[in-house]
Amino acid sequence: MLNDLYYLNLLNKMANLEYLKNLNDSQKEAVLYISGPLLIVAGAGSGKTRVLTSRIAHILKENKAFPNQILSVTFTNKAAREMQIRVSKILDNKEVGLPWLGTFHSICAKILRRHAKAVNLNQNFTIIDQDDQLRLIKSICNAENIDVKKISPNFIISLINKWKNLGWYPDDVVLKKSENFEKNLLKIYKIYQEKLTDLNACDFGDLILHCVSIFEKNQDINEMYSKNFKYILVDEYQDTNFIQSKWLKLLTKSHNNICCVGDDDQSIYSWRGAEIKNFLEFDKMFTNTKIIRLEENYRSSQNILNVASELISNNENRLGKKLNSNQNQGELVNLNCFKNGKDEAIHISKTLENQISKKYKLNNVAILVRAIFQTREFEERFLKIGLPYRILGGVKFYERTEIKDCIAYLRIVYQDKDDLAFERVVNVPKRSVGYTSIKIISEYAKQNSLPLEKSAKNLISFNKIKPKTKIGLNSFLNLLNKWRNDYFNKKINHVKLLQIILDESGYSLSLKNKKDLENENRLENIKELLNAMKEFDNLESFLEHVSLATSVDNDWDGEKVNLMTIHASKGLEFDAVFLPGWEEGLFPHQKSIDEKGQHGLEEERRLAYVGITRAKHEVYISFSLNRFYQGDWIDSISSRFVDELPEKYVKKINNYEREEEEIFEFNQDLENEEDNYRSPGWLRYQKRLK
């Protein structure tokens, strides 16, 4: 591994050093190479944190720099704290002060405090959070007569953040002719920045952008910091964006001793501004770069790594590596096919109860989905059988804001005395029925022992409601009467009822008009709610089900299965991992391919790689032949990623369970099977089994 004679001799010389003893050869080389740019390609579970901390300890032990001459950048405060503890432990458990160890934002904030006047701020400037951003954007929109119902303030914030990640102040933004919509928002960005200056404030994007601006316009300041930082270390480099990379480049002018650690195969955050080319083109940005690959995995069995490696090898834009496990060969990766998503959830729950729970603690088991709406079927099943679970990085399905809004609408239609439901949706979407109006209605209701709806009707008839509020309130009450009439006179069923409510109330339109990822996810969740409703005969039985589902104790004692998106699982590890829903359009997600083409497909494949490599011992991949999606049954085609799994390391399960729990053999004669079982996904899977 160590071809360089110098480093081989150095290794021999330092063989007895305690912090090197438990490192493999590649890790040792990465620790000892401290003269020039270094890119450490650290595969999943390869001990990159140990390498980084050992490297800092080595620099300090060898007196190559003082603690304040080391800049170490992490992506989370948690990672920074962990690194601080580990370095202190290596250095004889002494508390070592590393003043420049932290996140991009925390370090930039420290620099900016010292040089705030260079960007027209005072030293005591305020750093505003996302809520403050939202309020400021809303106030600007109101002042500029921009309808926030049509343009989501969250979308405006995400666009501003995007521009800042690209290093653009308002005057730097260059728009294409096709981006006329964004031209109107550029004006808001300009006003927003002016307001921030007036408030002596900045947002998180400004922290880095301002620092870069200071360095570029003040060479003396840039030189002071670049000379001071003899060594720069960066964790999770594959997740950096343009402005972060530019900031690092400016700080390496004097010494050029930068060490970046990451894994291009785990670059999955382009939607947050991360640019994988920072990693792939590191050697172009920093001349004479040395690349060291950490390929020994300390987490997963070899079969899991073989499957993950074979899958990711289909990506063209990668540096490439081959992971080897220090463990045994392990279990084959399981691949299963199901009739539909419900059967998939039933089978996985049985596997958890009958097999997995006997080998591992449920806390160490995870179900990783591509899209958050997929959790619904699993939650329904787990609630039914009493299997405890938690949602990590998200909210349980029936506790999500949009779902609670929909349920409240259904409740007030079903029961006109449901004050809680009335209060929740009377002004959702906005109908000019504000807090003061609701308070007046509530006080009248209390005084007269009436439900809120009846109180509202009385106050309108007595002209006790302001004209503008009266219009909105009347509209809402009339809609309630119409919906009740349609449902209770059996003109529509409970599913159609919700669809009409969402349409006529303006709720769906309010989400569709606000162009951001959050609202897109909300629409997906509502569609999944409609799917769930179809499993019940009427509104009463569905509402009873929801009531029971939400009343379950959220703090079950003991072990819980982890439910989360694959994105949320990055950096975590589990004994066993389930990866359901490997179907075209869902995974890889069609939107990602439509918007980013080949780059989108490769990021989806990296996401699959991340999912597989979360597992230590067992992986269960599955897909469905049919899935109820957006109100219709669709014939699914198994994901192209299924075809890319190496058969040598995969165990195909040659049966699936009907809803009636019957066993269906894959090798049955298709001629005798019902048409609805002969989907493209079915035929594709049959072909692979032969």
CA angle 677, 680, 686 (to 5 degrees): 75
Helix or strand run (H / E) with residue 215: helix 204-217
**Are residues 56 and 47 in contact, defined by beta-carbon separation less than 8 angstroms?**
no
Which one-letter DSSP state was computed for residue 354?
I
Q: C-alpha 278: how far from its chain's center?
A: 21
Task: List helix spans (H) across 318-374.
Answer: 341-351, 357-359
In whole angstroms, give the CA distance from residue 481 to residue 394.
35
Q: Are 640 and 593 in contact (CB under 8 A)?
A: no
H-type alpha helices, 33-123 = 48-61, 77-90, 104-114
Contact 149, 219 (CB under 8 A): no
Assign 404 to helix, strand or coil. Answer: helix
Token pair 């072909």: residue: 687
Pairing mode, if any, of strands 663-665 and 655-657? antiparallel
Find the catalytic residue in 29, 203, 206, 236. 236
**Catalytic: 48?**
yes
Secondary structure (DSSP) of 660-681 = T--EEETTS-GGGS-GGG--HH
Cβ–Cβ contacts within 10 Å for residue 7, how many? Answer: 16
Write the DSSP symbol of residue 107.
H
Residue 49: active-site member = yes
CA–CA distance, 396 with 393 (Å, rounded to integer): 10
Which of the following is catalytic: 48, 246, 400, 616? Answer: 48
Token couple for 368: 């990783």
Q: Tell me which residue has tokens 């960066």.
A: 234
- In the residue annotation, 76 being an active-site residue is answered as no
Tokens at 471, concatenated? 């219009």
Whole-number Å distance between alpha carbons of 59 and 71: 12
Q: What's the count of helices (H) and strands (E) in the chain, helices before strands? A: 31, 21
Of 29, 203, 235, 528, the catalytic one is 235
Q: Based on the residue annotation, tell me whether 61 is a catalytic residue of this protein.
A: no
**The one catalytic residue among 50, 318, 431, 614:** 614
Active site residue 327: no
Structural tokens at position 182: 């964004």
Question: Distance (Å, rounded) from C-alpha 610 to C-alpha 569?
Answer: 8
Among residues 53, 133, 193, 266, which one is catalytic? 266
User: Can you give the three-state secondary structure of 126-173, one letter per residue?
Assistant: EECCHHHHHHHHHHHHHHCCCCCCCCCHHHHHHHHHHHHHCCCCHHHC
Place of tokens 């890790």: 27
Q: Token pair 């403050």 is at which residue? A: 132
The Cα–Cα gap between 369 and 308 comes to: 17
Q: Which residues does 127 contact at the CB level (< 8 Å), separation at least 6?
A: 109, 201, 202, 203, 204, 207
Task: Output the CA–CA distances (angstroms, integers) from residue 483 to 186, 235, 424, in the order listed.
Answer: 42, 56, 17
265 is catalytic: no
- Interacting residues of 18 by C-beta distance below 8 A, sequence separation 6+: 90
Q: Which residues are catalytic?
A: 48-49, 235-236, 266, 614
